[in-house]
Amino acid sequence: MDLFGRILQILVHALLIRPIVFVIFGLGIRDRHKLPTKGPAIVVANHNSHLDTGVMMSLFPLRYLHRVRPVGAAEYWVKSKGFVSWFVLTIMGIIPMDRGARGRGEDPFVEVSKALSNGDILIVYPEGSRGEPERMAELKKGISHLVEAHPDVPVTPVFLRGVGKALPRGSWLPVPLFVDVWVGDAIHWTGDRDSYMAELRLAIANLARQGRTAQWSEHE
């Protein structure tokens, strides 16, 4: 990203996205110190809303934004050359991933691997697509293929609560509800895809349980 793009990205996040996330949704963050401060690194989270990426990027200092790269489906975000495509590529810094590449015998992680080699922090949603609010879908094994190719890269699990209700799937009008984030300890490649996926599922499930306990306590 060139200097103009970086300045524009910081301005939009500072003046628009972060006021929405922190003021309207009252974002609360638990164990923020566990987030990576430099790359290469991967942060994974549950995925219920288009708002998820704005929330996730708001967890990092503005000066790091050009190094924080969400991974999104190319067929969804880059299918046109209009404003939406420009916004997600320039302002959100999304790395478009072609999910149909493997079926053509191509590597879908080419650009993602380049970003890791460049020292970026990736945001990945292992569920693959947005699910029902507050419900975890089965994690797809693509994340294990990526980590296997980069076994030294730590993966930090995150659980988002309330985002799917604040901006549910199919809606473009946000509702001012509280949003909370739990950050877990980084996990590392186990040497086996199945055991790695089991560890990742357990890590996110533990954070989800913390979220449910906190919700019960707050309304006790």
Tens-level pLDDT at each residue, the chain (220 residues): 788 889 999 999 999 999 999 998 889 999 999 999 999 999 999 988 888 999 999 999 999 999 999 998 777 666 666 888 888 889 999 998 876 666 676 788 899 999 999 999 999 999 866 556 566 678 888 899 999 999 999 999 999 988 877 776 666 666 767 899 999 999 999 999 999 999 999 999 999 888 666 654 443 3
Q: How many Cβ atoms are within 10 Å of 79's Cβ, its own excluded?
A: 12
Residue 217 is predicted with a pLDDT of: 43
Domain at 165, CATH number: 3.40.1130.10
Residue 100: predicted pLDDT: 66
Quick one: CA torsion of 124, 158, 190, 135, rounded to 10 degrees?
-80
- Map residue 203 onto helix, strand or coil: helix
Distance CA 212, CA 100 (A): 36
Q: CA 204, CA 157: separation in Å to the nearest integer?
A: 6
The confidence score (pLDDT) of residue 85 equals 84
Could you tell me if 178 and 170 are in contact, meaning their C-beta atoms sit under 8 angstroms apart?
A: no
Q: How far is CA 211 from the centre of its chain?
A: 18
Q: For strand 95-97 and strand 180-183, is the pairing parallel, antiparallel, or unpaired?
A: unpaired
Q: What are phi and psi of 149, to 5 degrees?
A: -75, -20
Number of structural domains found in the chain: 1
Scanning the structure block, which residue is given the tokens 């200092």?
61
Q: What is the reported pLDDT for 73?
A: 78
In the chain, DSSP finds a helix count (H) and a strand count (E) of 9, 7
In terms of residue numbers, what domain contains 102? Answer: 3-218
pLDDT, position 101: 67
Pair of tokens at residue 196: 């790695």
Decide: residue 34, CB within 10 A, 0-12 exposed, 13-18 middle, 19+ buried.
middle
- Beta strands across the sheet bearing 28-30: 28-30, 180-183, 155-161, 41-45, 121-124, 68-73, 95-97
Q: What is the pLDDT of residue 47?
A: 87
